[in-house]
Structure 1
Amino acid sequence: MKVILQRSREASVRIDTEIVGQIDHGLVALVGVGQGDDAEISRALADKTANLRIFADENGKMNRNVSESGGGVLVISQFTLLADCRRGRRPSFTNAAPPAIANELYELYADHLEEHGIPVARGVFAADMQVSLVNDGPVTIILDSAEILA
């Protein structure tokens, strides 16, 4: 499982012209679920997301997590994070989990963030979405279950 976190001042996701998810400030989490990922991995990455100290404290140091900063998380499914570009010019997505499993673990990730008391907005799984955000910093963190749980 891979999660790209982008600290943002504001973010939203649209389908056609309708906003389906929006946060003021916090994190945008792009979530890719891979072959072999499971509920334990999804929960572990949600816990890591909830507890990362990447928001400024009163001294300007990255010392607060998203909850302590009063922020939310906009969670977007993105199977393309599992792209294998080693050969040829067209990415292979065989490393991505089947849609039913990916959707279940994506939803579990978002649900677990909510269990931490964090406001969560979501995209729509497998939909063609337009994501807008204003990066803050910019701060971008890559979480990879192969590295975090190793």
Structure 2
Amino acid sequence: MKALIQRVSTANVEVDNNCVGSIEYGILAYVGLGHDDNLQSTQRMIDKILTYRIFENDSDPAKRGKLDQNVQQVGGGLLLIPQFTLMAKTDKGRRPDFGGAMAPDSAQALFADMIVYAKSQYPKIASGQFGADMQVTSINDGPLNFLLEII
């Protein structure tokens, strides 16, 4: 499983010109599920994202400029977007190989379970719609982007 996380000032996702998820300050996370992923790996990824320290501590002048707070500590939101293309193999040729991505039916069910778990851990969760043509808009803050992997 991979997640590309971005610290954002704001982010939203639309499907058919309707907003299906939005956050203000927080993390936009694109999530790719692989063949070996399961409920436990998605829970570990959510736990990692929610506790990953990519926010500055503005309240402590001694720590100003240091990334020592997580999204929960700053009261930010988390927008989860299913993104099978993160699982693409790109080391050969000029066309991505998506064979590493989980089959759509299984991935849809697992992504839904991932959202349920995320909401049980933190209230400020929003998500995209699996399998839809999504239009994601965000304003990167920093920009700060990190690729997280759970093996």
One fold, TM greater than 0.5?
yes
Equivalent residue letter for 1:82: M
Q: Which residue of 2 aligns with 1:74?
A: 79
- Which stretches in structure 1 are left out of the alignment for 5+ residues? none
Q: Determine the structure 1 residue equivalent to 2:61.
A: none
Partner of 1:22: 22
Q: Which letter does structure 2 place at the counterpart of 1:53? A: R
Please tell me the residue identity of whatever aligns with 1:60. G
- Size of the aligned set, in residue pairs, is 146
- Matched AA of 1:36: D
Q: Which residue number in structure 1 is paired with residue 114 of structure 2?
A: 109
Task: Verify the 8 A CA contact 1:43 1:108 in the aligned structure 2.
Answer: no
SS at match of 2:19: strand
Q: How does the TM-score come out when normalised to structure 2?
A: 0.91
Cα separation, 2, equivalents of 1:39 and 1:95: 18
Structure 2: gaps of 5 or more residues: 59-63
Q: What is aligned with 1:95?
A: 100
- Say whether residues 1:85 and 2:102 are aligned partners: no
* CA root-mean-square deviation: 1.2
Which structure 1 residue ranges, 4+ long, deviate > 4 Å from structure 2?
A: none
Paired residues for 1:1-150 under 5 Å: 1-58=1-58, 59-146=64-151
SS for the counterpart of 1:44 is helix
Percent of matched pairs sharing the same residue: 39
